Amino acid sequence: MKAPDFDYHRPETLAEALDLLARHGEDAAIIAGGQSLLALLNFRLAAPERLIDIGRLTDLKSLSEDHGHIEIGGLLRHCDLQASPLIARELPLLHKAIGHIAHPAVRHRGTIGGSLAMADPAAELGACCLALDGEFLLVSLQNRRWVAAADFFLGVYQTALRADEILAAVRLPKRRPGSIGIFDEIARRRGDFAMAGLALAAQTGDGGLSDVRLALLGVADRPILAGKTMAFLEGRPINEARIDEAAALIAGEIDPPEDPAYPPAYRRHLTGVLLRRALLELCS
């Protein structure tokens, strides 16, 4: 399990990195923290001709806020976000989710941009960004574009990123008065990829939930929004009967892939369990 050989580039500036990508993007892999990529390389499941190490690009390590949003540089590490009072205050959903990512030594290297770009369907951050209706800044030598999380994830390890683009930043709306965010997942052991997980963001008010966004992880080829269940929950008060109905609805709404260890029906069931727990938490 030794990585195959590759050319290694370590650009010092974003411009240099983008230039390298413009020239070599199709044959290159971007490495940030490397916490997923290096395992793939060691297993020889990936064999890029060259690695472009963006780890030193200080441009991508900023954390900023404006009146309504937090903008997170793609190279901020999980541990940076976990330790940030700003994140804890303004993005509690994300903050809670980070605690579920692997183990401390991995969180010290893994980055938000790297995790999102890897697009593991069971990763926490994709579902969080989806629930929070986040946007990702994708930059190339020629272009800068913001892509909504909902349009970013295309399949297992597949995203809207083009070969010459870097995920430079993540933009997420700050918590508003009355907003709630719940993250929960069920994993076999601490730090494992979850068998199923849920990120729920909504506004609470007298009439129940509004602006409901319910994202799921580990139950499809990408993080997904549970549209029918969101619509069901929208604008109605939560009570026990509704919780039962919602749990049944979400279990029927999703179509998890075949997996000999965790059959689709099991993941559907778990997703219902997670939603029930989340809604009960809201009630209490």
Partner 1 sequence: MSIGAEVPRDRAKRLLVGRGRYVDDISLPRMLHLAFVRSPYAHARIDAIDTSRAMALPGVVAVFTAADLDGAVSSWRAAHKLFPTMAAPEQGVLARDVVRWQGEAVAAVAAESRALAEDGAEQVAVEWHELTPVLDGNQALAPGAPVLHRDMTDNLAYETKITAGDVDAAFAGAAHVAEEHFRFHRHSGISLEPRGIIADFEPSESRLTVHQSHQTPHQQQDLYARLLGLPEHKVRVICPDVGGAFGLKHHLMADELTACVAAKLLARPVKYIADRLESFLSDIHCRDHEVHARMAFSREGEILGLHVDDLFNAGAYGQYPRTSIAEGNQISRLTGAPYRHENYRADLRMAFLNKSILGHIRSVGHPIACAVAERLIDLGAAHLGLDAIEVRRRNYLDDDDFPRTSTGGVEFEYLSLNPCLDKALEIIDVAQFRQEQAEARAKGVYRGIGVATFVELTAIGPEYYGEGGQHISAQETCLLRLEGSGTLRCYTGATDQGQGIDTGIQQVVADVLGLPLGDVEVISGDSALCPVGGGSWGSRGAALAGEAAMRAATTLRRNILSIAASLLQKNAAGLTIEQGVVVDTASGTTHMAVSEIARIGHFQPYSIPEGVAADLTVVERYATRDRMFLAGNGLQIAIVEVDVDSGIVMPLRHLVVHDCGRILNPLLVREQVRGGVVQGIGAALYEELRYDPDGHLLTGSFADYLVPMAGEMPDIEVAHIESPTKTSELGAKGAGEAGTAGAVGAILNAVNDAISPFDASIAEVPITPPRLLRALGRF
Partner 2 sequence: MSNKLRRIALTVNGEAVEREVPVRLNLVDFLRHELGFTGSHVGCEHGACGACTVLLDEQTVRGCLTLAVQADGCAVRTIEGAGENELMVDLQAAFHRLNALQCGFCTPGMLFSAQELLQANPAPSREEIRDYLSGNFCRCTGYQAIVDAVQAVAQMRHGARHGGRHGAPGP
Does residue number 269 form part of the binding site for partner 1 (CB under 8 A)?
yes
Radius of gyration of the chain (CA): 19
Select from 161, 223, 268, 271 the one that contacts partner 1 (CB under 8 A).
Answer: 268
Q: Can you say whether residue 5 is alpha, beta or left, with left for phi > 0 and alpha for psi between -120 and 50 degrees?
A: beta
Site size for partner 1, by CB under 8 A?
Answer: 26
* Interaction residues for partner 1, span 26-85 (CB under 8 A): 43-44
Q: Quick one: tokens of 6?
A: 């590759």
Of 27-35, 50-58, 146-154, 262-270, which part binds partner 1 (CB under 8 A)? 262-270
Of 98-106, 194-202, 234-242, 274-282, which part binds partner 2 (CB under 8 A)? 98-106
CB of 18 to partner 1, least distance (A): 30
- Quote the CA–CA distance of 252 and 44 in Å, as a whole number: 38
* Interaction residues for partner 2, span 42-71 (CB under 8 A): 42-43, 51, 53, 55
Does residue number 180 form part of the binding site for partner 1 (CB under 8 A)?
no
CB of 3 to partner 2, least distance (A): 4
Does residue number 105 form part of the binding site for partner 2 (CB under 8 A)?
yes
Does residue number 104 form part of the binding site for partner 1 (CB under 8 A)?
no
Does residue number 8 form part of the binding site for partner 2 (CB under 8 A)?
yes
DSSP per-residue codes, the chain: --PPP-EEE--SSHHHHHHHHHHHGGGEEEESS-TTHHHHHHTTS---SEEEE-TT-GGGG-EEE-SSEEEEETT-BHHHHHH-HHHHHH-HHHHHHHTTSS-HHHHTT-BHHHHHHHT-TT-HHHHHHHHTT-EEEEE-SS-EEEEEHHHHEEETTEES--TT-EEEEEEEEPP-TTEEEEEEEE-SSTTSPPSEEEEEEEEEETTEEEEEEEEEESSSSS-EE-HHHHHHHBTS---HHHHHHHHHHHHHH--PPP-SSS-HHHHHHHHHHHHHHHHHHHH-
Residue 102 contact partner, candidates partner 1, partner 2, none, CB within 5 to 8 A by sort of partner: partner 2
Residue 6 contact partner, candidates partner 1, partner 2, none, CB within 5 to 8 A by sort of partner: partner 2
Does residue number 106 form part of the binding site for partner 2 (CB under 8 A)?
yes
Of 109-117, 153-161, 191-199, 213-221, which part binds partner 1 (CB under 8 A)? 191-199
Does residue number 111 form part of the binding site for partner 2 (CB under 8 A)?
no
Q: Dihedrals φ, ψ of 37, to 5°?
A: -60, -40
Select from 193, 197, 202, 230 the one that contacts partner 1 (CB under 8 A).
Answer: 193
Place of tokens 């849920």: 198
Select from 3, 86, 147, 150 the one that contacts partner 1 (CB under 8 A).
Answer: 3
Task: By CB under 8 A, name the binding residues for partner 2.
Answer: 1-8, 10, 31, 34-35, 38-39, 41-43, 51, 53, 55, 79, 102-106, 108-109, 189-191
Task: By CB under 8 A, name the binding residues for partner 1.
Answer: 1-5, 43-44, 186, 188-193, 195, 260-263, 265-266, 268-270, 273, 276
